[in-house]
Amino acid sequence: MQEQLSYVHGAHDVPLIGETIGPFLAGVARRFADNDALVVPHQDVRWTYAELNARVTRLAAGLLALGLRPGDRVGIWSQNCAEWVLVQFATARAGLVMVNINPAYRRSELEYVLNKVQCSALVMAPAFKSSDYIAIIEDVVPEVRGSVPGKLQSSGLPHLRHVIRLGTEKTPGMLNFDDLLAAPTTVQLAQLADIEAALQFDEPVNIQFTSGTTGSPKGATLTHHNILNNGFFVGEAMKLGPADRLCIPVPLYHCFGMVLGNLACVTHGATMVFPGESFEPKAVLATVEAERCTGLHGVPTMFITLLDHPDFANYDLSTLRTGIMAGAPCPAQVMSRVIEKMHLAEITIAYGMTETSPVSFQSSVDDPVHLRVSTIGRIHPHLEVKIVDAAGRIVARGVKGELLTRGYSVMLGYWGDEEKSREAIDAAGWMHTGDLAVIDAQGFAAIVGRAKDMVIRGGENIYPREIEEFLYRHPKVLDVQCVGVPDKKYGEELCACVVLRPGTQATEDEIRAFCSGQIAHYKIPRYVRFVEGFPMTVTGKIQKYLLRELVTTELGLAG
């Protein structure tokens, strides 16, 4: 009877890795010492595994020399770069917890996350695109300018001691990243060895912020065991090996970059290739050709942009074999074009969420194409998934319900938020994803909708509640509801429906300008509609789906 229920278990004969990330990297560096580990053409970086490992040790010792101790949180606020990788592995080696900060975050988000997890140190880029990070941090922590590096005392962020900037220019009160890369002393090496020996794989190594239905971002806290194993099995599904060179244009601050990209490579002795600081289609095409990449990751929007690029045909992409498309529903037609036109015959689809490290379903390179384009594949090794109805009972195969995940990949919880953690992970250890899915008789799953109120714009998640709470601060806004509306390029765009206070008037631009510089650009509503009220149920509950239908039609986006 049981096989007819929507419960699947990834029974597998390859065991889980029972190590922390530091010693694991050292082992890889011994086995694949001379293999390219990291290539970042725009920074002129080309490090072998032996070189990467040595730099990681230097940085780990440098961080400890600042007085940081195992368990302390270290924020990283930067676009993709080689230093990001060093911070990822050095914090792991030193028992520190790396906190990923979205490069698109602005003042209010930055202040919130640094405070929430009490970061002791922040590694940051000086600037990125339109954002002057130094100006933002000096605004959030005005004390930094007059402080001695390493002795910061800030009233707003009392835990923050060190601000470490990338690049060679000096900024008052800040350390330079390269200052932390001095050759370690024997005493420091012994201290590192002691830390590595004591560290357990179930300890936290990384906090990633995801937003939630309640407004503020929540810090999903992941362990060595969580992400090292997920990276390993993601690489297994792509059949990665030491000869592979994976082009990683997806952001490192998200699991897609640092787990599906970096850790999948490191666990297989493969090469990480960063085509740029952020996604830039021409640079991706040029890097795949120049570096003879065998793999390429991306959210569906990125693949669409590459395929439609006017210079697409001028690049030789024939070395490509595999990669992952994930993060949002992957249209079958895009998958087919990617297989046909980009030589990605072995591309796989993955599904997951930050809270589960992230991947729980992935198609394998040899699944039939029709299943690779229409499903998210089968359950990942060692994990369990069940699909349940509103009462929490497992539904029959083929019946829609909420997808729940259990196993080694489930996060410890949300940092400093027990209540939210308990809502997300139930007493039996199941993570409630809020995604609606069906599983067929063979175990292939398809995501068919979302029970949670979330918009995915080009792979970036937006929680309407967070934007609504921000817009409530506007003096003219009486009430506001945000919904996702269809968009050809990004999949979805955000629309804010605003009820103005009586007697006031406002323009769309005025509302958007209020957000600018305060919240990340991708969260700023693309559309603003001024309305009299919202469709309600008899019990006074706002009917978001009706509102979504209404504005979709009004904006002429239906169909």
Which range in 145-153, 326-334, 382-390, 463-471 contacts ligand AMP by CB under 6 A?
A: 326-334
Q: Taking the complex as a whole, how short is the minimal distance between the CB of residue 357 and ligand AMP, in angstroms? A: 10
- Each residue 430-449 as x (binds ligand AMP by CB under 6 A) or -, in order, gives ---x-x-----------x--
Q: Pick one of 349, 387, 445, 455: the residue that binds ligand AMP (CB under 6 A).
A: 349
Q: Taking the complex as a whole, how short is the minimal distance between the CB of residue 268 and ligand AMP, in angstroms? A: 22
Please tell me the distance from the alpha carbon of residue 140 to that of residue 238, in angstroms, as a whole number: 43
Q: Taking the complex as a whole, how short is the minimal distance between the CB of residue 401 and ligand AMP, in angstroms? A: 15
Crossing angle of the two packed helices 21-31 and 49-65, in degrees rounded to 10: 150
Alpha helices in 278-417 (DSSP H): 281-291, 300-307, 332-341, 369-374
CA angle 367, 370, 371 (to 5 degrees): 50
Residue 133 in the binding site for ligand AMP (CB under 6 A): no
Neighbouring-strand partners of residue 226: none
Please tell me the distance from the alpha carbon of residue 29 to that of residue 19, in angstroms, as a whole number: 15
Which range in 25-33, 160-168, 274-282, 328-336 contacts ligand AMP by CB under 6 A?
A: 328-336
Q: Pick one of 6, 53, 79, 210: the residue that binds ligand AMP (CB under 6 A).
A: 210
Residue 78 in the binding site for ligand AMP (CB under 6 A): no
Q: Taking the complex as a whole, how short is the minimal distance between the CB of residue 126 and ligand AMP, in angstroms? A: 27
CB atoms within 10 A of CB 552: 17
Q: Which of residues 103-132 bind ligand AMP (CB under 6 A)?
A: none
Contact (Cβ atoms closer than 8 angstroms) between residue 322 and residue 234:
no
Specify the 3-state DSSP secondary structure of 371.
helix
How does DSSP assign 475-530, residue by residue?
A: TTEEEEEEEEEEETTTEEEEEEEEEEPTT----HHHHHHHHTTTS-GGGS-SEEEE
Q: Taking the complex as a whole, how short is the minimal distance between the CB of residue 474 and ligand AMP, in angstroms? A: 27
- End-to-end alpha carbon distance in the chain: 42
Residues 6+ apart with CB under 8 A from 197: none
Q: Taking the complex as a whole, how short is the minimal distance between the CB of residue 446 and ligand AMP, in angstroms? A: 9
CA angle 176, 181, 186 (to 5 degrees): 140
The sign of the dihedral angle between the CA atoms of 31, 36, 40, 42 is positive
Residue 353 in the binding site for ligand AMP (CB under 6 A): yes
Residue with smaller CB distance to ligand AMP, 381 or 491: 491
Residue 328 in the binding site for ligand AMP (CB under 6 A): yes
- Each residue 412-431 as x (binds ligand AMP by CB under 6 A) or -, in order, gives --------------------
What's phi and psi for 62, nearest 5 deg?
-60, -40
How many residues lie near ligand AMP (CB under 6 A)? 18
Residue 461 in the binding site for ligand AMP (CB under 6 A): yes
Q: Taking the complex as a whole, how short is the minimal distance between the CB of residue 208 and ligand AMP, in angstroms? A: 8
Residue 326 in the binding site for ligand AMP (CB under 6 A): yes
Footprint on this chain of ligand AMP (rule: CB under 6 A): 210, 255, 326-330, 349, 351, 353-354, 358, 376, 433, 435, 447, 450, 461
